[in-house]
Structure 1
Amino acid sequence: MNGCAEEFMKAVEPFMKVTEPVPLTPDNQTGPIGLNPLTDAQILEIQRELHYISDNKTKLAVVAAALNQPQ
């Protein structure tokens, strides 16, 4: 097991180097969605998720009505 840990640490060593902090600019901000423009792919994914949620609520309403139960 110790050999595995050493091999792992050797593999991740290049990624563990400390670099100088980069000041935030409009192009590299990290934070809430409002600070970063969404990509077309992200917008499409959000639209899919909202449609999926809406579709499931509609299905639940139909089943509840069929069972004559309040939602």
Structure 2
Amino acid sequence: MLTIDLSYASPYIKAELASLGPWGKGAHTENETLEIEALTIATQRTALFILKYVNCRKKERKKERKKDNK
């Protein structure tokens, strides 16, 4: 079984996101399990992160447009 970890890709990408997924036991092994209850919490946490990120980027773009129009 092939397992992938973000650390393998880090030399090739500018940024990475970790710790947004659900939890369980035996991470990155053939015996990895998932706690189903963790899906709700992980999904909510990820949605909040995306919402905050999008709002932050909107504010940055708005500032850039104002700066360009001066």
Structure 2 length as normaliser, TM-score?
0.46
Structure 1 length as normaliser, TM-score?
0.46
Greater relative contact order (CA < 8 Å, ≥ 6 in sequence): 2
Bigger-Rg structure (1/2) = 1
- Which structure: greater helix fraction? 1
